[in-house]
Structure 1
Amino acid sequence: MSIVKNQHYVPRNYLKRFLSNDKKPKLWVFDKTSSGSFGVTDLGNVCGERYFYETEEKNNFQTLELKLAQIESQFWPLFDSFLVNLIDKHKPITNDIRNSFSTYLAVQILRGKRTREIISQIKLSLLDHLTVNELAEENLLSNLNSIEIRNTHVNMLFSDENINLIKNSLDEHIWFVYRNETNLPFYTSDNPVVKYAHMSDPNFSMDGFGSEGIEIGFPLNSKYMLCLIDRKLFFGLNSQENLCLPLTDKKNIVHYNHLQVLQSYKYVFCSSNSFGLATEIVNSLPYLRDVSHPQVEIRTQKRKMHCNWSLLQKPPKKVIQNYDNRTSNISDRFSRTWWAY
């Protein structure tokens, strides 16, 4: 087996679906750190780093890269047939497609640079809290470095239990596909699986992939996006499950593109050099230019320590905010009759 040196955390097979329609297709890239954009024709160096998944454990050399390659090799033929059936034959999402997609999405959620950054911030925040309270051992502080962070990240991906936890959570949601009927293309990014919390809680994070009220978006290409929504809050959409639904209002596209800009690590991608929205967002929120901007908050209550970030956190049921106070534009897409009060 040949050694893979440049290891991708977003597959090239995914990114190529956002290439332009030019004679020489290119992927347009927006860099949040510089607010600059450029086009690339070679995807080899996009969302890839030298030995990104390799640790000092020699017995596992290239093992994770091989595991990811096997998952992708099974997924992409299904993805292509799914799009053909959806666009040309208007067939709904099947159980086989859902099973394959949920595995792929779980892996994509775990494998990216933003996840590695969040792991780093969780560990640092916890150690800072323990140090302030004189609870941290000296060896913990000395051992926290980039190698240790990488080891933790890679071990998460090696764990089928972690992948299945997220996969099973995604499987519980209502699934459907949006068809973009506007002239604005969908963005994607180096963290393409984005989420929006329709509920809030003063003590718990409500933006986990299994949280009540969560909405999850994954662009398939510039015109189609897979959407997953919490079955409990959005029970009125059960009749739309597995179908393809049109989006005709540009505000909806702006909403999802906005999430891609906010939740990406560094890069946003598009099939055209249409990054006016991305530029506006970064200019209004300058902290986004720093890839290490704080994304983790530690809260202490009565000797209990809470980390306000989680993939699957499911806090106790809380009173839903009044309809008039909701800021999500999902209410523009559907009748308010399915809101759970």
Structure 2
Amino acid sequence: MTNRKVKKNQHYVPKSHLKRFTIKGEKSLIWSFDKVKGEFGKLPASKNKVCAEDYYYYQITKDNKIDHTTLEDRFSEIETSSNNAIDRLLACSKMPYIHLTRLDREQVAFYIALMLVRGPSFRDAISEIYGHAARVMLNKVWDESKAPEVLQQLVRKHGLSNVVDISVNSTVSLEHMINSAEAIAKEFLKKGWVLINAPRGRDFVTSDVPVVFYPYKYGLEVVGPAHLNAEILFPICKSSALIMTPAIEPMDEVVIGNYSDFLLDDINTKVAKAANKYIYCSEQYSWLKNKDLECSQGQRLTSGVDMTGINIVTNPWKRKN
């Protein structure tokens, strides 16, 4: 077994991202707003403790052993290279436009796509879909004649799904998480990239689901993140946000968009509404308390699966709140 003391605290929103939204003068502390309770925490939170679980990326190997760190180590490498590319982008944020190399663009696209799918919002639904598939298969292979009489009677009375429980380990979502990130990143590369800088004296916020997607114009149907008509919003840091928008011929350059107080408010509102529960920011903004954030508008992948008789085996190392 891998040394379990190594990288125990594993983030689904990287610390390197959260660090860009910390309180002025602080390296780790960040204000956390609970949109369910409608209030800030009494004290600032540490970026090291939020959006994380112990051994969140654990895997079960082919020889039935537990691997706690392989994925975490790989994600750390991706975060390092991608944040270097983001630093180069931000260094040119005051220029008329920014030229990113193809490699930098690919790394940033995958980093953002991975951040979209690596959290519980995506992984929970994938596990539920696997549970549904297992139940469908069980119904197909169920042979009553080979079952004990007492089990036959129970199934006739209550139904197969109410008698036989199906357990699915949440690790089944890991492969789909990686494959989905790769597919979504390819679509990001087809879009036009626009960097929006915050007006002087104002900041962007982020959340436990920092990547937001929505139809690029009103009147279009609901879209997924890889849809042709999806616009992607990603607050990079307190001072800059990236918008990836449908384009006929995407340019290699990142365009610097016009900024305004109205646009900043619109971006922050989208980010706040997309959050599952927590919004993170450098100040205790009163507007968060006064705005209807509609918790149902999170970017959660919904499976629509009836979970009767399906048990998702979640992370056994997750800390109890």
Which segment drifts farther, 169-178 or 136-145?
136-145
Q: Is the 8 A contact 2:15 2:48 kept in 1?
A: yes
CA distance in 1 between partners of 2:259 and 2:113 (Å): 26
Q: What's the CA shift for 1:151?
A: 1.1
- TM-score where L is the length of structure 2: 0.73
Show the counterpart of 2:185: 167
Q: What's the CA shift for 1:163?
A: 3.1
RMSD, aligned CA: 3.6
Q: Deviations over 1:94-150 (max 9, x none)?
A: 13331220121121112112112333555577789x69xx779758972345xx2x2
Q: Deviations over 1:8-65 (max 9, x none)?
A: 1111111111112246873111112322213436321111111111134326331111
SS of structure 2 residue aligned to 1:156: helix
**Residue 224 to residue 23, structure 1, CA distance change in 2 (3 Å):** closer
Taking the TM superposition and a 5 Å limit, the aligned residue runs for 1:324-339 are none
**Residue 126 to residue 76, structure 1, CA distance change in 2 (3 Å):** same
Letter in 1 for 2:124: E
1:243 to 225, 233, 255: 255
2:82 to 71, 75, 86: 75
Letter in 2 for 1:66: D
CA distance in 2 between partners of 1:105 and 1:292 (Å): 14
Query: Are residues 1:33 and 2:46 paired?
Result: no
Q: Is the 8 A contact 2:196 2:243 kept in 1?
A: yes
CA distance in 2 between partners of 1:265 and 1:112 (Å): 10
Q: What's the CA shift for 1:93?
A: 3.5
Q: Is the 8 A contact 1:114 1:264 kept in 2?
A: no
Taking the TM superposition and a 5 Å limit, the aligned residue runs for 1:111-190 are 111-120=118-127, 122=129, 142-145=165-168, 148=169, 150-157=170-177, 159=178, 161-181=179-199, 183-190=201-208
2:264 to 244, 253, 263: 253
Show the counterpart of 1:92: 98
Q: Is the 8 A contact 1:211 1:230 kept in 2?
A: no
Query: Are residues 1:17 and 2:20 paired?
Result: yes
Q: Is the 8 A contact 1:206 1:212 kept in 2?
A: no
Q: Is the 8 A contact 2:275 2:299 kept in 1?
A: no
Q: What's the CA shift for 1:245?
A: 1.3
**Residue 207 to residue 127, structure 1, CA distance change in 2 (3 Å):** farther
Higher RCO, 1 vs 2 (CA within 8 Å, ≥6 residues apart):
2
2:11 to 8, 11, 14: 8
Q: Deviations over 1:256-294 (max 9, x none)?
A: 222222222221111111152365224xx3657xx9999
Q: Is the 8 A contact 1:172 1:231 kept in 2?
A: yes
Q: Is the 8 A contact 1:55 1:151 kept in 2?
A: yes
Q: Is the 8 A contact 1:20 1:26 kept in 2?
A: yes
Letter in 2 for 1:113: P
CA distance in 2 between partners of 1:221 and 1:297 (Å): 34
Q: Is the 8 A contact 2:234 2:242 kept in 1?
A: yes
Q: Deviations over 1:163-213 (max 9, x none)?
A: 3211111111111211122654212111111011146899xx642222132
Between structures 1 and 2, the one with greater helix share: 1
**Residue 286 to residue 52, structure 1, CA distance change in 2 (3 Å):** closer
**Residue 221 to residue 23, structure 1, CA distance change in 2 (3 Å):** closer
Q: Is the 8 A contact 1:258 1:278 kept in 2?
A: no
CA distance in 2 between partners of 1:72 and 1:32 (Å): 28
**Residue 9 to residue 293, structure 1, CA distance change in 2 (3 Å):** closer
Show the counterpart of 1:53: 57
1:221 to 237, 245, 250: 237
Which runs of 5 or more structure 1 residues have no equivalent in the other structure? Answer: 299-341
CA distance in 2 between partners of 1:41 and 1:292 (Å): 23
Identity %: 22
CA distance in 2 between partners of 1:297 and 1:253 (Å): 34
Show the counterpart of 1:42: 46
CA distance in 1 between partners of 2:110 and 2:197 (Å): 23
